[in-house]
Copies of this chain bind each other. A is one copy, B any other.
């Protein structure tokens, strides 16, 4: 008998019929003789509605406001967990719902994006041993002070993986509206292939690069606790993609996937005085506003000044520009160039650790298509380049082919 955690997103529980469909999927695992824990999101659209109401009443800046925000928006998962428990009971399955505070899912008090501190697995374990399916409201926890917290957007994935780790589940199935992890976005590259297995580290890079299938924190947590996570569709009865340790990815390949993100803005400050500590000085006003600086390039200095180029999330552009303008005198740059029409293209694969020449292939492939590279950054298993946004699809397709990722006809 295995212990299986199943997580269903907002689309999968979007209405009563879909909740019944989920009950059927859960029943399959129960009938197979497994102990089953289900984690649910709110009905799709519901969280946005609740957030909209909260925002219309408050700027949601104070800690006190965020406590109320969490109490309000956590209600969406409360509804779906109870409804799914009812649907399961009606299918003849013993089931009960658990809210974050009921199941002892303790978090820190950082409301709106709390982190899980502890899960009291005993309650859950004894419920499973009684033969009950546990239906847990995802996305929510509780502080020491008995206040409800939420885990940030996509937090239900994190709930599911954390619970799977706490009860040492054999597998954590994340049901969603796509049927797995692909070598790249199939909307852009019809020849994209579904990956049977993918290493945690690769998924981490892909998730942070714009492949929106799993919340990054849930992947980090899965990697840390070695939780076998499967991403699969709740609308198609086919196996999905399994997140595993690097050694387990038997399929030999150098590059696993090509990712892209249009959510970038490139900023260049020209004629910055080239002295020790200047980078720290430039990024201080951005750090203060919690703006995440990503790719950074500092040109070679010639006349004692340098040009500094970096990227930030597109949504933070106005805030960043205003912060840098305010600091213009103290930073002493000459001009600021802002380009919102850029995209980051990345190739990812654990094969990079052992194979040279993979970056060269990327630069060459893009050069052949006359795509100019604006910025380059690399990590152990990833190479990212910044290009003009209009080349996004062309670049992704060319790289997908060049690295031999295209599906066979």
Contacts and interface: CB of A to CB of B under 8 A. Distances in A.
B71 A97 contact: yes
B86 A79 contact: no
Given A54-B86, A57-B90, A87-B57, A72 B64 contact: no
A128 to B, nearest CB: 16
Given A16-B56, A96-B64, A146-B102, A82 B71 contact: yes
A146 B94 CA distance: 19
A41 to B, nearest CB: 14
Contacts of A19: 57
Nearest to A55: B86
Contact of A53 (B57, B83, B85, B102): B83
A71 B57 contact: no
Nearest to A103: B146
A158 interface: no
Contact of A83 (B57, B94, B147): B57
Contacts of A146: 101-102
A62 interface: yes
Interface string A74-107: 1110110111011101100010110101100000
Contact of A62 (B16, B59, B89, B101): B89
Interface string A40-71: 00000000001001101111101011011101
Given A57-B90, A58-B90, A86-B58, A96 B67 contact: yes
B96 A57 contact: no
Interface string A241-261: 000000000000000000000
Given A53-B83, A71-B78, A89 B58 contact: yes
A121 to B, nearest CB: 16
A229 to B, nearest CB: 28
Contacts of A262: none
Greatest chain B CB density within 10 A among A19, A81, A99 is at: A99
Given A72-B78, A75-B78, 14 more contacts: A20-B57, A50-B79, A53-B79, A53-B83, A62-B89, A65-B86, A67-B96, A68-B86, A68-B89, A71-B82, A71-B99, A72-B86, A75-B75, A78-B78
